[in-house]
Amino acid sequence: MIEFDHVTRTYGTKTAVSDLTLAIPRGELFALLGPNGAGKTTSIKMLVGLLHPSRGSIRICGHDVVADPRGAHLHVGYVPDEPCLYDKLTGREFLWFIADMFGMPRHLARERIDREIECFELGEFADDLAESYSLGMKQRLVFAASLLHDPSVLVLDEPMVGLDPRSVRIVKDLLAARAREGMTVFMSTHTLAMAEEMADRVGIMVRGRLRFLGTVMELREQVALESTSLEQLYLELTTARGEEP
Amino acid sequence: MRGSLPPEPVRLLSLEEEARVFLRLRATLIWETVRTMLTGSRLRLSLVVLLSGLFWGALYGLFVEAFAFLDALHANVISLLFNAFFSSLMVMLVFSTGILLYGGMYRSPEARLLLTLPVRAETIYAHKFREAMWFASWGFILLGSPMLVAYGVVREAAWPYFALVLPFMLAFVMIPAALGGIACLVLVGWLPRLRLHAVSIAVGLACILALWLGWSLLTQSRADAMSAAWFERAFARLAITEQKVLPSWWLSSGLLEAGRTERNGQLSVSGTIEAVKFLALLIANAMVLQLAAGWLAGKAYRRGFSHLTGEVPARRRRRANWLDRLLTGGERAAGPLRLLLVKDLRLFRRDIAQWSQFLIFFGLLGLYFFNLRSFNYHNAYASMIGFLNLAVVGLILSTFTTRFIYPMISLEGRRFWILGLLPVHRDQIVWSKFLFSFLGGLIPCAGLVLLSDSMLGLPRSLIAMHEYCCLLLCLGLSGIAVGLGAMMPELRESSPSKISSGFGGTLCLVLSSLLIMVVVTVAALPTHLFLLARTLGPTVIAEDGLLAWAGGMWGTTLSLAVVSTAGLAACLIPLRLGLVAFRRLEV
């Protein structure tokens, strides 16, 4: 579903992502972890086509995101770290715009919009202008929009920012259910507990390199510590080895 | 390797379908904006419509007079005037559309959203292009339409002229706008690192050319300024704009042909046919350039966006400069008022949008004042122009106080937890904004008024009066902006332009304009009457009559008293109300 093939991205003289090779199969929930400046957001921006790799290629469902961006985007739902909406559109109008962009038939679009409004509990404010929404409301609407077309791949950049505990629960349950149905989830997060609870595999990036790739259990074995929490394992990996030149 | 098929109900749209979706989006956005304005900002909307109507009417009247005067000189003068106007407008439209497109296509959150959807780059370009073209050219429509209608009325043109004016304007603006779009795409797509240098060089060259032309026109002869011969010579310098390859020439020629009538005043069929040919030429070129820009967008937009997203912002270390040290008193601990003042000064210095607009407007005004000596005015005119210049300085200051000072208290809203927890009395926050506005406005405004009056050769007494009025205007305008800003803060809003365009901002602008009108009119009246009395002489004006009294010492004293009261009231009343409201504000 998602293939990073020897991807490198440089910013001037600084290498933000170095030789990243990663394949995430259908139905997997993958969490990308790492300290600030590790290259997580750069990887996500390359995955959704906002940044082009300096070297290497990225494929989504077989479509190269640089050579065939529209073909790749047709399979992707994206939730950015800062939700972007049109202030002068209502939530429902925004969902219609997204449905139209994906060429969904009217009857199906109506059905899906109602489904997502119900799922994310947007009904109360779906017909208000987005300019009156709080951050959490905006984030829920962006989630709804990203899932409207039942994407094969869902890309999430710090997805829980601004969500209240109830919304977080809704999102977690939904991601797990969709992954079971075959949707691939690629998520960048600082919330280690969430990664530990949900992710099938985690990747830990430090200074642009993928330091670890595997399950939380495998991470424990690799670090070989008595410690049990992912937080301790993460700190061990990113602090001790992150200091290496 | 071919990608897998998309989920069944999802498909890629055709170009026409994409265009329809974006047109629906644009229509919904416009409708919602108008609906919001109709329900929430009626005062603002009414003022905008009213002032636009007044502006249009005033321009129309001015152009009717100007065309009647120029028509009597020589028919070619109008052709030159059109060519000079449209060619300079063309250059400005290229730059403004290019810059607006840059912001819309590469720096806006909307672009980041659209680029992650399965939509063609050329469709996104077309969507943002329409927006940029509208924002860049509405001023041209507002300024150009009264001019062209006035020309038609003065020349007693037949109906085809009036029917063709709008299509001509629309076809014309698309050409420079498309050129701006192409320049923007090329610079960001292939020369991303050189884009700032390239734009700076182009703007610099355009400014040098404009200054050279302006300077040579103003300095060629001072003796017969504004005479027919002066106009002839001045327009001869502008012949450079009459190049047949320029779209501005096609537009000018088309309009002149459309306005042509037969000797008996009847419609000129051949003129209309020629005009339609010029219109077709403009439309054809506009369409070709649109196609080229669309093709280019398909090649360069995503690549350029990636270039810019991957740019590393230069790390800029900032240190306190001499002004900060002076205001804080060097190493000694400064009071909270001074520290707040220094903070606002730093934010102002580091916000290019603020100081560049400040510099451009006051710089242009300074340039105009500096050239006042090129004209020979009689005393009565010089006095009147001095007061008008004072009003212009006040009006520009009022736009700054409304745009930048009024939102300052609201913008503290998101940072209020910092200020709210500091051992600072809330009054000091308001006073710091007032001092910042007053001192920041007084220094350039007083300098400009002095420059204007010196160039006009006004007597010292009048200069002193103008400076006093300027001081009162700075006090009043600052008081209104800070006071209203503290009374009606919008603490959730982070965009200063949105804050200033709301009800409070509109009220601020209206009250500021009223204050300027009152101060300048009341201050100018005695001087005007004094000059009138002197011109008419004692045989016409009785020495103990009302006119002599109003233009004398008593009239001046009364006028100064009214002006002082108005200025101080405009400063103190809103400020007092603002202080009380801000003390009670719950965050």
Chain A: closest CA distance from residue B497 (Å): 15
Rounded Cα gap, residues A144 and A109, in angstroms: 12
- A82 in B contact zone (CB under 8 Å): yes
Q: What percent of chain B has pLDDT over 90?
A: 37
Spatial neighbors of B271 by CB under 8 A, at least 6 apart, are B257, B258, B259, B260, B261
Which residues of B lie inside 8 Å of A (Cβ-Cβ)? 1-4, 6-7, 9-13, 17, 21, 24-25, 28-29, 32-33, 36, 109-110, 112-113, 115-120, 302-303, 305-306, 309-312
Q: Are A35 and A15 in contact (CB under 8 A)?
A: no
Closest Cα to residue B147, out of B206, B178, B139? B139
Q: Is residue B4 part of a domain?
A: no
Tell me: do B304 and B340 sit in the same domain.
Answer: no
The tens digit of pLDDT for each residue in B62-94 reads 899 888 887 765 666 788 888 888 988 898 899
Residue B332 has pLDDT above 90, yes or no: no
Q: Which of B1, B11, B13 sits opposite A62 (nearest CB)?
A: B1
Q: Do the chains contact at B113 and A105, CB–CB below 8 Å?
A: no
Among the residue ranges B18-22, B189-193, B494-498, B533-537, the one predicted with the least confidence is: B533-537
SS3 state of residue A32: strand
B567 or B85: which leads in pLDDT: B567
CA B376-B378-B382 angle, 5° bins: 85
Nearest CA in chain A to B308: A51
Residue B583 has pLDDT above 70, yes or no: yes
- pLDDT recorded at residue B286: 96
The tens digit of pLDDT for each residue in B6-26 reads 566 788 999 999 999 999 999
B227 or B198: which leads in pLDDT: B198
Q: Do the chains contact at B3 and A72, CB–CB below 8 Å?
A: yes
- B302 contacts on A by Cβ (under 8 Å): 49, 52, 66, 69
Q: What percent of chain B has pLDDT over 70?
A: 82
Provide φ and ψ at B505, rounded to 5°.
-65, -40
Rounded Cα gap, residues B213 and B217, in angstroms: 6
- pLDDT recorded at residue B489: 85
The parent domain of residue B107 ranges over 15-309
Residue B139 has pLDDT above 60, yes or no: yes
Q: Is residue B426 part of a domain?
A: yes
Residue in the structure block whose two tokens are 């103003």:
B218
Nearest CA in chain A to B123: A101
Q: Which long-range contacts (CB under 8 A, 24 or more apart) does B444-447 make?
A: B444/B358, B444/B362, B445/B393, B445/B394, B445/B397, B445/B470, B445/B473, B445/B474, B446/B470, B446/B471, B446/B474
Tell me: do B373 and B504 sit in the same domain.
Answer: yes
Give the pair of three-digit tokens for residue B317. Answer: 């270390």
Q: Which of B309, B327, B355 is the last residue of a domain?
A: B309
Tell me: do B168 and B45 sit in the same domain.
Answer: yes
Reported confidence tier of residue B281, pLDDT bands at 50, 70, 90: very high
Q: Which of B36, B116, B309 sits opposite A73 (nearest CB)?
A: B116
Rounded Cα gap, residues B270 and A44, in angstroms: 63
- Candidates A74, A90, A111: best to mutate against B (most CBs of B within 10 A) is A74
What are the residue ranges spanned by the domains of chain A? Answer: 2-75+153-241, 85-150
Q: Is residue B71 part of a domain?
A: yes
Cross-strand pairs, A78 = A155
DSSP A163-193: --HHHHHHHHHHHHHHHHTT-EEEEE-S-HH
Reported confidence tier of residue B374, pLDDT bands at 50, 70, 90: low
φ/ψ bin of A205: left (φ > 0), alpha (ψ from -120 to 50), beta (otherwise) = beta
Q: Are B370 and B389 in contact (CB under 8 A)?
A: no
Number of domains into which chain B is organized: 2
Predicted-complex ipTM score: 0.91
- A151 in B contact zone (CB under 8 Å): yes
Among the residue ranges A241-245, B51-55, B556-560, the one predicted with the least confidence is: A241-245
- pLDDT recorded at residue B275: 94
- pLDDT recorded at residue B522: 92
- A174 in B contact zone (CB under 8 Å): no
Name the CATH code of domain A2-75+153-241 (choices 3.30.420.40, 3.30.465.10, 3.40.50.1820, 3.40.50.300): 3.40.50.300
B378 or B282: which leads in pLDDT: B282
- A168 in B contact zone (CB under 8 Å): no
- pLDDT recorded at residue A236: 72
According to DSSP, the β-strands at A153-157 and A14-24 are unpaired
Q: Is residue B10 part of a domain?
A: no
Q: If you average pLDDT over residues B503-517, what whole number do you get?
A: 88
- pLDDT recorded at residue B174: 95
Q: Is residue B2 part of a domain?
A: no
Among the residue ranges B26-35, B194-203, B259-268, B386-395, the one predicted with the least confidence is: B194-203
Provide φ and ψ at A56, rounded to 5°.
85, -175
Tell me: do B47 and B176 sit in the same domain.
Answer: yes
Residue B184 has pLDDT above 70, yes or no: yes
Q: If you average pLDDT over residues B180-207, what whole number do you get?
A: 80
Count of pairs with CB atoms under 8 A, one residue in A, one in B: 119
Residue B314 has pLDDT above 90, yes or no: no
- A51 in B contact zone (CB under 8 Å): yes
- A78 contacts on B by Cβ (under 8 Å): 116
Q: Is residue B121 part of a domain?
A: yes
Residue B441 has pLDDT above 80, yes or no: yes
Give the pair of three-digit tokens for residue B24. Answer: 């629906």
The Cα-based distances of B143 to B56, B248, B434 in angstroms read 7, 16, 35
Closest Cα to residue B432, out of B473, B482, B382, B358? B482
State the DSSP code for B282.
H
Residue B136 has pLDDT above 90, yes or no: no
Residue B436 has pLDDT above 60, yes or no: yes
Q: Is residue B316 part of a domain?
A: no
Q: Do the chains contact at B310 and A11, CB–CB below 8 Å?
A: yes
Rounded Cα gap, residues B6 and A233, in angstroms: 39
Rounded Cα gap, residues B325 and B396, in angstroms: 30
- pLDDT recorded at residue A242: 44
According to DSSP, the β-strands at A2-11 and A184-188 are unpaired
Tell me: do B288 and B368 sit in the same domain.
Answer: no
Residue B502 has pLDDT above 80, yes or no: no
Rounded Cα gap, residues B331 and B324, in angstroms: 11
- pLDDT recorded at residue A149: 93
At position A116, the amino acid (one-letter code) is E
Rounded Cα gap, residues A24 and A91, in angstroms: 32
Residue numbers in chain A where pLDDT is lower than 50: 241-245
CA B218-B228-B258 angle, 5° bins: 100
Q: Is residue B544 part of a domain?
A: yes
The tens digit of pLDDT for each residue in B403-430 reads 889 998 888 876 777 777 777 788 888 9
Sheet containing A29-33: give its strands across.
A76-79, A153-157, A184-188, A29-33, A201-206, A209-214
